[in-house]
Amino acid sequence: ARSLFNLLTFNRTGGWGHVLVMHELKYLATQNFSGYKEIPLVRYMKKGITMKFWKILGLTLEQKTEFDSMVRTDLKKPWWSRGYDFLGILGYVLPFGRWIQSPFAMYCSERVASYLRKFKKWIPNHPSPEELDALFESNKNDFSVLGYWIGD
C-alpha cells in the first residue's frame, strides 16, 4: 500500500480545527464544505497555518492496507455520498446537540474517527478535531507525533 497512514491536524486561530488523512506522499484526503476529496498538501502550507502530523502506531500491514482502502473507496464515491455534515456541525456547537447528525454525511473528524474505530474501538463516533487531538495526546502507545509545520 502507498499510504503513509498519518493523520494531520491543523489550526488557524487557536485550537485544532480540522483533521485530514495524508493517504499518499504530498496528498491529503479532506472532508470540507465542498465534500470529501483529495488535495495537494501545499494548499495548507501557508502563512498562519500550523500543521501537526500524527502517525498511527501498531497497525499490521493488513490493517494499513485496509485503512488505505477505506480512504480510497470513500474518495471514489459519488459526490452526493461525500457531502459535509452541516447539521452535525450545528449539533456540535449547541451545548446539548451532539445527537444532531446527518445520517448521509460527515464532518472531518467524524470521517477520520470512522476509519480509526476499525482498529481502535475506543474512538468516539462524533469527536471534534480538538477531541481527537486530545485522545491522540493521551494515548501515546497508539499515536505518535511525527512533527509540525508552522507557516510563519
Q: 42-53 pLDDT, tens per residue? A: 988 888 888 888
Confidence bin at 12 (pLDDT 50/70/90):
low
What's the rounded mean pLDDT across residues 127-150? 90
Helices 108-116 and 129-138, interaxial angle, to 10°? 40
Q: Please indicate whether residue 70 or residue 84 has the higher confidence score (pLDDT).
A: 70
Among residues of the chain, what percentage have pLDDT more than 90? 35
Q: Using CA atoms, how far apart are residues 131 and 16, in angstroms rounded to an integer?
A: 9
Say what the pLDDT of residue 137 is.
92
1 pLDDT more than 50 = no
Q: Please indicate whether residue 81 or residue 99 has the higher confidence score (pLDDT).
A: 81
Rg of the Cα atoms in the chain = 15
pTM for the model? 0.86
**What is the per-residue pLDDT across 54-80, written as a single tens digit (0 to 9) for each?**
999 998 889 988 999 999 999 999 988
Q: Which three cell numbers stand for residue 87?
A: 447539521
Average pLDDT score, the chain = 84
- Residues ≥6 apart with Cβ < 8 Å to 48: 12, 151
